[in-house]
Amino acid sequence: MTRYFDPHVHMYSRTTDDYEKMSIAGIEVVVQPSFWLGSPRTSVGTFIDYWEHMISFEPKRAIEYGIQHYTCISVNPKESIQRPLAFDAMEAMIEGKFLDRERVVGLGEIGYNLINDLEEEIFVEQLNFCKKQDLLAMIHLPHNNKPEAIKKMKTIFDTGKYNYNKILIDHNTEETIKETLDLGVWAGLSVYPVTKLNPKRVINIINQYGSDRVMVNSAADWGVSDPLSVPLTARDMRINSCKSKDIEKITFLNAYEFYRQSKRFDWKP
């Protein structure tokens, strides 16, 4: 039976029509990480309301279409340069025990956007919290200058004794996939309808680097994106005679193996 897992999709910005299409296409599980809502935050309360919405409302919306919905909570990279707001939000996230809530399977997205010290400060704080609490960390590579971001992350990891099995670095391309896999962490590939990665480039990456620890996602949000990217990639892989084991691994199994490490990921296929 063909089933899919989209480990990175911002359903907050999508309609129930999308849930309907995803469900028909065979997507059975999604993880929705915290993202930038499209305009700057003005208070800690907007973070709290957003996290609460993802924890309480989205799983109900998803299950009506037979889709299991899990969440990653964070102060995301684009929001991490505001002071003191970023620190206040992080404190609210920890004090409010959002990471202990049902179906919250990790901390993410965290990482870099512009790649600067302000972002790095919040990134490292959240990474250290993951280490202390033994939580999964979901890391966002910036749209520009990905190799520079990987280089900086490597320096951070080298000093921190982090559990690489509990780290996922997302939005990889041909420029970063080798470095990411060499680190020993899990690697995400985001497939978009235009620009960035398409299924053909994913196939080339899998042919070159294999399917271990790699997972495809749609990263669908407000912008030009497609919540069906995972099944579409699987379809194109079938057309191109890719091995069915590779297809299963990158469109379902690897995401499952990564996220099932969280004790709050309670779904079993």
Which two tokens mark 38?
Answer: 């499209």
Pick the piece of the chain touching Zn ion (CB under 5 A) from 15-23, 29-37, 86-94, 248-256.
29-37
In this complex, which beta carbon is closest to Zn ion, that of residue 111 or of residue 199? 111
- What CA–CA distance (Å, rounded) separates 14 from 220? 8
Q: Specify which residues 138 forms β-bridges with.
A: 108, 168
Residue 70 per-residue DSSP state: E
In this complex, which beta carbon is closest to Zn ion, that of residue 31 or of residue 90? 31
In this complex, which beta carbon is closest to Zn ion, that of residue 242 or of residue 255? 255
- What CA–CA distance (Å, rounded) separates 140 from 154? 14
Pick the piece of the chain touching Zn ion (CB under 5 A) from 30-38, 97-105, 114-122, 157-165.
30-38
At its nearest, how many Å lie between Zn ion and the CB of residue 161?
A: 27
At its nearest, how many Å lie between Zn ion and the CB of residue 5?
A: 16
In the chain, which ranges are E strands? 4-6, 27-33, 68-73, 104-111, 137-140, 167-170, 186-190, 214-217
In this complex, which beta carbon is closest to Zn ion, that of residue 202 or of residue 219? 219
Question: Quick count: other Cβ atoms within 10 Å of Cβ 192?
Answer: 16
In this complex, which beta carbon is closest to Zn ion, that of residue 35 or of residue 259? 35
At its nearest, how many Å lie between Zn ion and the CB of residue 33?
A: 6
In this complex, which beta carbon is closest to Zn ion, that of residue 10 or of residue 103? 10
- What CA–CA distance (Å, rounded) separates 224 from 149? 24
Q: Do the beta carbons of residue 190 and residue 8 sit within 8 Å?
A: yes
Site string for Zn ion, 32-51 (x = CB under 5 A): ---x----------------
In 121-196, which ranges are E strands? 137-140, 167-170, 186-190
At its nearest, how many Å lie between Zn ion and the CB of residue 199?
A: 19
Q: Tell me the CA distances in angstroms from 191 to 20, 111, 197, 250, one per residue in order.
A: 20, 19, 5, 12
Question: Which residue type, as a one-letter code, is found at position 205?
Answer: I
Residues 6+ apart with CB under 8 A from 50: 12, 34, 37
At its nearest, how many Å lie between Zn ion and the CB of residue 171?
A: 8
Site string for Zn ion, 196-235 (x = CB under 5 A): -----------------------x----------------
In this complex, which beta carbon is closest to Zn ion, that of residue 35 or of residue 70? 35
Pick the piece of the chain touching Zn ion (CB under 5 A) from 31-39, 93-101, 172-180, 205-213.
31-39
At its nearest, how many Å lie between Zn ion and the CB of residue 115?
A: 17
At its nearest, how many Å lie between Zn ion and the CB of residue 34?
A: 9
Number of residues that bind Zn ion (CB under 5 A): 2
**Interface with Zn ion (CB under 5 A):** 35, 219
